[in-house]
Structure formats: structure tokens, C-alpha cells
Amino acid sequence: MPRLSTTGIHGADHLHTVPDVTPPINISTTFKYTNDPDKLEKAPPGPFPYEVGKPVYSREGHPSGELVELTIGKITNSYAVAYNSGLSAVYAAYTHLNPKVLCIGQGYHGVHGIADIWKRNHGLKQLSLKDEDLDKLGEGDVIHLETPVNPDSQVFDIQYFADKAHAKGAFLVVDSTFAPPPLQDAFEFGADLVMHSATKYFGGHSDLLAGVLLTKSEKVWRELIDDRIYLGTNIANLESSLLLRSLKTLELRVLKQSASATKIAKFLDESKDKYPAIAKVHHSSLQKDEFVARQLKGGHSPTFAFELQNEDQARKFPSKLKYFYHATSLGGVESLIEWRAMSDNTVSPSLLRVSVGLEDVDDLIEDITEALKAV
């Protein structure tokens, strides 16, 4: 089996239909039927029988989306279904599993937004990740685990929650956005479905919105594709071409971003005496639990958070930086910092979230040092 970087570049070579090295951007929403009346077939009863490689209408499937799914499937050793956002992927997971009870912890606010819609429309019961709540799971229910978690990249023990779910006949969905390949493979520790916001590290250039769901089961993959036709949440044509471009550099980007983030988190953690503005640094590399190294085999999350002494310092800090744009989101080649209170009302107002990009890490550390002096 070729390894990640090779697969990211060559994983779907056999599906190329023209000699172009970069598959052409294909924006067609509809595809011509055969001109031979004898070969025309009436639609059978039941759900639309979408066939990979035989595009009809782009909501059902299209060539660039299929190249993306095949490549990501090979990279992750699973079957991939691509969506028009990370949240569409989460919505599709819940639609497929249809839980009565959802155990969910701290994490991305948008996922809680989906859970609240399900509570409103379907009476979904939401519980925490505490043992006494996990014990209330029944057959077909769901644990939703985000690890490493937004915004502080704290790591949770995937195997522990997989065992808890499976003991009750429930399923474990892991949001692995903060640890893309090659950092973490949640399937190794028992996840049933793995989700990534491809807007972040898979995309990597802050220029596309997409999500993926991964499954080890071909049957589940087919069911997800069938649902997606009617949810109307297929990845868009143009975004697919951008994402294919991104997959070619996934490993290169993620490994460097991970190493730089680990170096910066260490620098901040060791500079608390010198720069008393630093109150606390949160990163998977600073977490001591034994399962952290076991899960994050390929390296630590390229996103982390730190707290300054007070809200005023945190509000000002981004304005003192040259190389970190003050913006939400993460995973791009450009470093970002966010005074996280801007988009999440559940976090400390003195917390800053940092997404480390591909700039030289020593330039980033010098930039942060100057900002620490300035607040």
C-alpha cells in the first residue's frame, strides 16, 4: 500500500479521464444521457440508484467529488463521503444513526446547534460524557466525542468511550478535525464513524468549505450516499477541485503545522515567569495522560489555546501581532489567532485560540514575544 503523501497525489489516478496532470475543474451540474434510445433505462422504484463513475446530476454525484472521496478513503483506509460542510457531515451522521439519546461533551458550538435542532424536532435527549450519563445509553444511541477538543486541544480517551458505547449497543462518532491524518486514526480505537471538517486541515488554504464522514463499512457508505442525495448536501464541484489540490500537500502541511504548534506551546508554557501576562497554556503536548501519545501517533494538534491574565489583555493581544491574522477558523497555511469570546460564549474571555500555519516557526515565536511585551 502506498503511503499518505503518495496516495494524496496519486490515489485517484485511475479515474482521470483526460491526460491533464491536474484534473480539469468541472462545474457541470448535469451530464448527457446516451444518444442511443435502445440503451435508455427507466428509473426503477425506490431510492435513486446512484452509481459512482456514471454522473447524472451533480447533487447525486460528480467526477471531482468522486476523486476527492476515493483519495480520502485511501488516505484514511476507509470509505469516505464528502459533504458541503463539516456540519452537513455531522447532520448526516445523526440522520443515519437516528439516536434517541446523545451523550456529548464540550466542543464545537455548531455541533451543539445541530443537537438542539434534533432536540426541538425529534425530542433528542442530550446527556454529558460523565459515566452516570453514559450508563443511560440504549441500543442505537450515540456518543459524540470531539478529540482533540475545540478550543484547547485537550485529548479524550477514544477507546474508553468506544467500549462504553459498544457495551450498550450504541455508536461512537468522533470529530477528528483537530487531528487530521497522519496525526490520529480514531478507527484504531473503536470509532464507528469519523468526521472531519475538511474546511480546516484537509482544505488547508482557507478557501473551501467541506466536510467528510468516514466509515469502515461499505454498506454504511452506500446508505450515507443514498441519504445525501435527498439531504442535498453533496460537496460542491468547485470545492472538490480545490480540495483535490489540497490533498496533495496534506501530510507535508499537517506535520509542519503540528511541529510548529508544539514548539510554540512549549515556548509559551516555559515563558510564564518571563512574561507574567501568560496565565495558562492548553495543548495536547502538555497533557500527561498515557492515552495522548497512543492516540496522537503522528504528532500533536496544530491548534491550541492559551489564557492571558485578563480579558483586556486577550482583547488587545491579536492587534499586536504581525503574522497572525485575527480571524476565526483554523487549519490554513496562514497562522490565525482568535479572541475566542468573539465566537463562543462558553469559553473564558481571557482565552486566545491559535491555529499555526506554515510560516517559519521562529518568526512566529518572535512575533508572539513582541506582543507579550506589548500587553
Task: Please state, in angstroms and as integers, the Cα–Cα distance from residue 310 to each residue in 156, 252, 264, 341, following that order.
Answer: 28, 36, 21, 12
Q: Which is nearer to ligand PLP, 209 or 281 (CB)?
A: 209
The whole-angstrom distance between residue 48's C-alpha and the CA centroid of its chain comes to: 29
Residues 6+ apart with CB under 8 A from 333: 204, 205, 206, 253, 357, 358
Residues 131-160 that bind ligand PLP (CB under 6 A): 146, 150
What minimum distance in Å lies between the beta carbon of 307 and ligand PLP? 19
- Binding part of the chain for ligand PLP, among 8-16, 197-205, 222-230, 353-361 by CB under 6 A, reads 197-205
Binding of ligand PLP at residue 209 (CB under 6 A)? yes
One character per residue 32-71, x = contact with ligand PLP (rule: CB under 6 A): ----------------------------------------
Q: Which residue bears the cell 508544539?
A: 262
What minimum distance in Å lies between the beta carbon of 315 and ligand PLP? 22
Max CA pair span of the chain: 80
Residues 66-125 that bind ligand PLP (CB under 6 A): 85-87, 108, 110-111
- Binding part of the chain for ligand PLP, among 16-24, 94-102, 123-131, 173-181 by CB under 6 A, reads 173-181
Dist. CA 204–CA 216, nearest whole Å? 25
For 169, which DSSP code? T
What minimum distance in Å lies between the beta carbon of 40 and ligand PLP? 39
- Binding part of the chain for ligand PLP, among 120-128, 172-180, 217-225, 240-248 by CB under 6 A, reads 172-180
Dist. CA 225–CA 92, nearest whole Å? 10
Q: Can you point out the beta strands (E) in 154-294?
A: 171-175, 193-197, 211-215, 278-282
Binding site for ligand PLP (CB under 6 A): 85-87, 108, 110-111, 146, 150, 175, 177-178, 197, 199-200, 209, 211
